[in-house]
Amino acid sequence: MPEKKPSMFEQLDSINVNSYTEKKGQFTYLSWAWAVRELLKVDPQATWVVHKWGGDDDVNSRPYMETEAGYFVQVTVTVDGVERTQIHPGLDNRNQTIKEPNAFQINTSIQRCLAKAIALHGLGLYIYAGEDLP
Protein backbone atom coordinates (compact mmCIF):
# COMPACT_ATOMS: atom_id res chain seq x y z
CA MET A 1 0.00 0.00 0.00
CA PRO A 2 1.47 3.40 -0.97
CA GLU A 3 2.44 5.76 1.83
CA LYS A 4 -0.06 8.52 2.48
CA LYS A 5 1.33 11.98 1.71
CA PRO A 6 1.09 14.28 4.75
CA SER A 7 -1.58 16.94 4.50
CA MET A 8 -0.50 20.56 4.15
CA PHE A 9 -1.45 21.08 7.80
CA GLU A 10 0.72 18.13 8.85
CA GLN A 11 3.64 19.44 6.78
CA LEU A 12 3.44 22.92 8.30
CA ASP A 13 2.77 21.58 11.81
CA SER A 14 5.94 19.47 11.65
CA ILE A 15 8.20 22.52 11.16
CA ASN A 16 10.06 23.57 14.30
CA VAL A 17 10.15 27.38 14.36
CA ASN A 18 11.65 27.71 17.86
CA SER A 19 14.85 29.26 16.51
CA TYR A 20 12.79 32.08 14.96
CA THR A 21 10.73 32.98 18.02
CA GLU A 22 11.22 35.95 20.34
CA LYS A 23 10.19 36.28 23.95
CA LYS A 24 8.54 39.57 24.97
CA GLY A 25 7.49 39.57 28.59
CA GLN A 26 5.59 36.35 29.23
CA PHE A 27 4.68 35.86 25.56
CA THR A 28 6.51 34.05 22.77
CA TYR A 29 6.18 35.46 19.25
CA LEU A 30 6.97 34.20 15.78
CA SER A 31 7.80 37.17 13.56
CA TRP A 32 5.41 37.51 10.64
CA ALA A 33 8.42 37.61 8.28
CA TRP A 34 9.65 34.19 9.42
CA ALA A 35 6.11 32.80 9.29
CA VAL A 36 5.67 34.00 5.70
CA ARG A 37 9.11 32.70 4.72
CA GLU A 38 8.50 29.22 6.11
CA LEU A 39 4.95 29.09 4.71
CA LEU A 40 6.06 30.02 1.19
CA LYS A 41 8.85 27.43 1.28
CA VAL A 42 6.16 24.76 1.71
CA ASP A 43 3.42 26.35 -0.43
CA PRO A 44 4.73 29.05 -2.79
CA GLN A 45 1.16 29.64 -3.99
CA ALA A 46 -0.17 30.59 -0.53
CA THR A 47 -1.91 33.97 -0.38
CA TRP A 48 -3.44 36.27 2.21
CA VAL A 49 -5.92 39.12 2.32
CA VAL A 50 -6.20 41.92 4.85
CA HIS A 51 -9.90 42.65 5.26
CA LYS A 52 -11.21 46.21 5.00
CA TRP A 53 -14.25 48.00 6.41
CA GLY A 54 -16.08 51.28 5.99
CA GLY A 55 -16.32 51.67 2.24
CA ASP A 56 -16.70 49.99 -1.10
CA ASP A 57 -13.39 51.22 -2.49
CA ASP A 58 -9.77 51.61 -1.40
CA VAL A 59 -10.21 55.35 -0.82
CA ASN A 60 -12.99 55.06 1.74
CA SER A 61 -12.22 51.68 3.33
CA ARG A 62 -9.78 51.02 6.14
CA PRO A 63 -7.90 47.89 7.29
CA TYR A 64 -9.44 47.89 10.76
CA MET A 65 -12.83 47.74 12.41
CA GLU A 66 -13.69 50.09 15.27
CA THR A 67 -16.00 48.75 17.97
CA GLU A 68 -16.95 49.72 21.52
CA ALA A 69 -14.51 47.03 22.70
CA GLY A 70 -11.60 48.40 20.64
CA TYR A 71 -10.06 48.13 17.21
CA PHE A 72 -9.76 44.85 15.32
CA VAL A 73 -8.02 43.65 12.17
CA GLN A 74 -8.78 40.52 10.17
CA VAL A 75 -6.60 38.46 7.84
CA THR A 76 -7.48 35.42 5.74
CA VAL A 77 -4.68 33.10 4.61
CA THR A 78 -5.21 30.56 1.84
CA VAL A 79 -2.95 27.50 1.77
CA ASP A 80 -3.46 24.71 -0.75
CA GLY A 81 -6.98 26.02 -1.41
CA VAL A 82 -7.98 26.10 2.29
CA GLU A 83 -8.92 29.51 3.74
CA ARG A 84 -8.47 30.24 7.45
CA THR A 85 -9.33 33.60 9.00
CA GLN A 86 -8.00 35.24 12.14
CA ILE A 87 -9.30 38.34 13.92
CA HIS A 88 -6.86 40.22 16.14
CA PRO A 89 -7.35 43.23 18.44
CA GLY A 90 -5.17 46.31 18.37
CA LEU A 91 -2.81 45.71 21.32
CA ASP A 92 0.13 47.58 22.80
CA ASN A 93 3.45 46.00 23.81
CA ARG A 94 1.88 44.80 27.10
CA ASN A 95 -1.00 43.13 25.22
CA GLN A 96 -3.47 45.76 26.41
CA THR A 97 -6.17 47.11 24.11
CA ILE A 98 -5.25 50.37 22.39
CA LYS A 99 -8.03 52.97 22.65
CA GLU A 100 -6.93 55.02 19.61
CA PRO A 101 -4.23 53.20 17.63
CA ASN A 102 -1.97 55.00 15.18
CA ALA A 103 -1.03 53.67 11.74
CA PHE A 104 2.06 51.85 13.05
CA GLN A 105 0.00 50.08 15.74
CA ILE A 106 -2.64 49.05 13.18
CA ASN A 107 0.12 47.68 10.92
CA THR A 108 1.67 45.78 13.83
CA SER A 109 -1.73 44.25 14.63
CA ILE A 110 -2.17 43.22 10.99
CA GLN A 111 1.23 41.50 10.97
CA ARG A 112 0.48 39.69 14.27
CA CYS A 113 -2.87 38.64 12.80
CA LEU A 114 -1.12 37.36 9.66
CA ALA A 115 1.27 35.24 11.75
CA LYS A 116 -1.67 33.80 13.70
CA ALA A 117 -3.68 33.10 10.54
CA ILE A 118 -0.67 31.22 9.17
CA ALA A 119 -0.50 29.30 12.48
CA LEU A 120 -4.10 28.16 11.92
CA HIS A 121 -2.66 26.21 8.97
CA GLY A 122 -0.18 24.50 11.31
CA LEU A 123 3.02 26.57 11.20
CA GLY A 124 3.97 27.45 14.77
CA LEU A 125 0.50 26.66 16.09
CA TYR A 126 2.08 25.08 19.17
CA ILE A 127 3.38 28.53 20.20
CA TYR A 128 -0.16 29.67 20.97
CA ALA A 129 -1.18 26.61 23.01
CA GLY A 130 -2.42 27.80 26.38
CA GLU A 131 -2.49 31.49 25.42
CA ASP A 132 -6.26 31.53 25.96
CA LEU A 133 -5.94 30.26 29.52
CA PRO A 134 -6.01 32.68 32.46
- Could you read off the pLDDT tens digit of each residue along the chain, which spans 134 residues? 778 889 999 999 999 999 999 988 778 889 999 999 999 999 999 999 999 998 777 777 999 999 999 999 999 999 999 999 999 999 987 888 998 999 999 999 999 999 999 999 999 999 988 665 54
pTM listed for this prediction: 0.90
CA dist list (Å): 71 to 24, 91, 122:
22, 9, 26
CA dist list (Å): 130 to 4, 27, 75, 126:
31, 11, 22, 9
